[in-house]
Structure 1
Amino acid sequence: MTTLLLVRHGLTAMTGPLLAGWTPGVALDERGRAQVRALGGRLAPVPLAAVVSSPLDRCLETADAVAAGRDGIEKVRVDERFGEVRYGDWTGRPLKELAEEPLWRVVQAHPSAARFPGEDGEALADAQHRAVTAVRDWNARIAGEHGEDAVYAVCSHGDIIKAIVADALGLHLDQFQRIQAAPASVTVIRYTELRPFVVRLNDVGGDVADLLPPPPRSEDEENGGDAGGAGGRGDAAVGGGA
């Protein structure tokens, strides 16, 4: 049951009024730096096998705050597949202005059909595919290196996190705008052989005790006894469970 912590970067001067996209040099502002310092402190009790980041500055700063002071994590690993959607000609433009574009309604109501304009504009479906593929690759890598109960963090961007969550929930991409990922929020997904479980969504201040790896299983449990509900298979408890 590899556990993924999806962390959105903290606030920047462009967050909200402008579509930053892959604009170079967009760093956290004072508010964002305060957010990620608090986030790093809140996640400190959770043992992380790795911290992976989008290559963009605002995510690298956030990832550094999450990784700071952790034994066994020498550096943040970078994976371009967790980078922001490539918004093409929309990059850097005000959101109020973009809301007047015909494509805006497609992005909101039928995002699986949306491709952003310009030579480097990306389809949202392609962005989801690369991000979900990256998650699957990292799940296998982390489990192979650190065991099936390992926890790792990925620092990424709002639309990318929402697309990963939609996949985990079994939702069509056209529903991903119903999901929210606030700056410096944490979304948690546990991946099992059967299915992913969305444990937390858009968490900006909760306790992290339930994110700690489980204690080692006893010999009886290893031999087929009750290993934490539904025979240890990672099934959802009937009736909702606790």
Structure 2
Amino acid sequence: MTTLLLVRHGLTPLTGPVLAGWTPDVHLDERGRAQAAALAERIAGVPLRAIVSSPLERCTETAGAVAAARTSGPEPLTDERFGEVRYGEWTGRRLDELVKEPLWKVVQAHPSAATFPGGESLAEAQHRALAAVREWNARIGPDAAYLVCSHGDIIKAIVADALGLHLDQFQRITVGPASLTVISYTELRPFLLRLNDAGGDVTDLVAPPAGDDGDAPVGGGA
């Protein structure tokens, strides 16, 4: 099995009130840097074959903190397919303004039909992210783990696919800043091991469960 650690970037001055999207030069603020450092320390003992990041600064800085906390290991690489959704004309606008747009209700209730003006659709964003995951899974190989630092909607879209959910259900998933989400990919099915994890022990990720047949434990497991 291949284990994917998905990390959302830490807080920035725009996180929350503004849809940053692909706005350039959006960096982690003091809170975000502290979040990234804490996460990096928490997962420092998890062997990683690769560290991959969205090319946007808030992600490369978070991924850089993960790499810096390790005595050895891979240097972060970037993959544009893990970049934020291209929100087009919505980029840089306040959320309290966007909520008044007719498209907002589509994004909330029927996201698979949502295409951002001058940007891409959520379905297109999910497709490129999943293509990247499958390519990286093949590159990393079985019985290994790698980390991808990305954005909330991208991570939610990957999780929805792992759970077999239609994209229209992905708004039911929450992914907070600097949170850890872990998916194990087997030949039969993916397993969601963690979701929106903001703290706690990660020793179970140091040595992923043996076997890759994809069988789920009957009765829920020990």
TM-score of the two chains, using structure 1 as the length reference: 0.89
- Cα deviation for residue 94 of structure 1 reads 0.2
Question: What is aligned with 1:128?
Answer: 126
Q: Which runs of 4+ in 1 moved over 4 A?
A: none
- Cα deviation for residue 213 of structure 1 reads 2.0
Tell me if the contact between 1:151 and 1:213 (Cα under 8 Å) persists in the aligned partners.
no
- Alignment pair present for 1:149 and 2:140: no
- Cα deviation for residue 76 of structure 1 reads 0.6
Question: What is aligned with 2:168?
Answer: 174
CA distance in 1, matches of 2:185, 2:46: 17
- Describe the shift of the 1:203–1:69 C-alpha distance in structure 2 as closer, same or farther (beyond 3 A): closer
Aligned partner of residue 239 in structure 1, secondary structure: helix
- Describe the shift of the 1:193–1:102 C-alpha distance in structure 2 as closer, same or farther (beyond 3 A): same
Q: Which runs of 5+ in 1 are unaligned?
A: 216-226
Tell me if the contact between 2:41 and 2:69 (Cα under 8 Å) persists in the aligned partners.
no
Which residue type is aligned with residue 21 of structure 1?
G
CA distance in 1, matches of 2:20, 2:163: 27
CA distance in 1, matches of 2:145, 2:128: 21
TM-score of the two chains, using structure 2 as the length reference: 0.97
Aligned partner of residue 202 in structure 1, secondary structure: strand
Which residue type is aligned with residue 70 of structure 2?
R
- Alignment pair present for 1:163 and 2:149: no
Q: Which runs of 5+ in 2 are unaligned?
A: none
CA distance in 2, matches of 1:69, 1:96: 37
- Alignment pair present for 1:194 and 2:153: no
- Alignment pair present for 1:207 and 2:204: no
Question: What is aligned with 1:89?
Answer: 89
CA distance in 2, matches of 1:53, 1:157: 10
Tell me if the contact between 2:49 and 2:74 (Cα under 8 Å) persists in the aligned partners.
no
Tell me if the contact between 1:49 and 1:151 (Cα under 8 Å) persists in the aligned partners.
yes
Which residue type is aligned with residue 138 of structure 2?
A
Where do residues 1-242 of structure 1 align in structure 2 (5 Å cutoff)?
1-118=1-118, 121-143=119-141, 148-214=142-208, 233-242=213-222
Instruction: State the Cα deviation string for residues 41-95 of structure 1 (Å, max 9, x = none).
Output: 0001111111000000000000001111435534211100000000000000000
- Describe the shift of the 1:96–1:214 C-alpha distance in structure 2 as closer, same or farther (beyond 3 A): closer
CA distance in 2, matches of 1:84, 1:92: 13
Q: How many residues align?
A: 222
Tell me if the contact between 1:150 and 1:213 (Cα under 8 Å) persists in the aligned partners.
no
Identity over aligned pairs, percent: 75
Aligned partner of residue 187 in structure 1, secondary structure: strand
- Cα deviation for residue 23 of structure 1 reads 0.1
Moved more, 174-183 or 74-83: 74-83
Tell me if the contact between 2:40 and 2:69 (Cα under 8 Å) persists in the aligned partners.
no
CA distance in 2, matches of 1:67, 1:186: 15
Tell me if the contact between 1:12 and 1:27 (Cα under 8 Å) persists in the aligned partners.
yes
Tell which structure's C-alpha radius of gyration is larger: 1
CA distance in 1, matches of 2:54, 2:137: 16
CA distance in 1, matches of 2:199, 2:72: 25
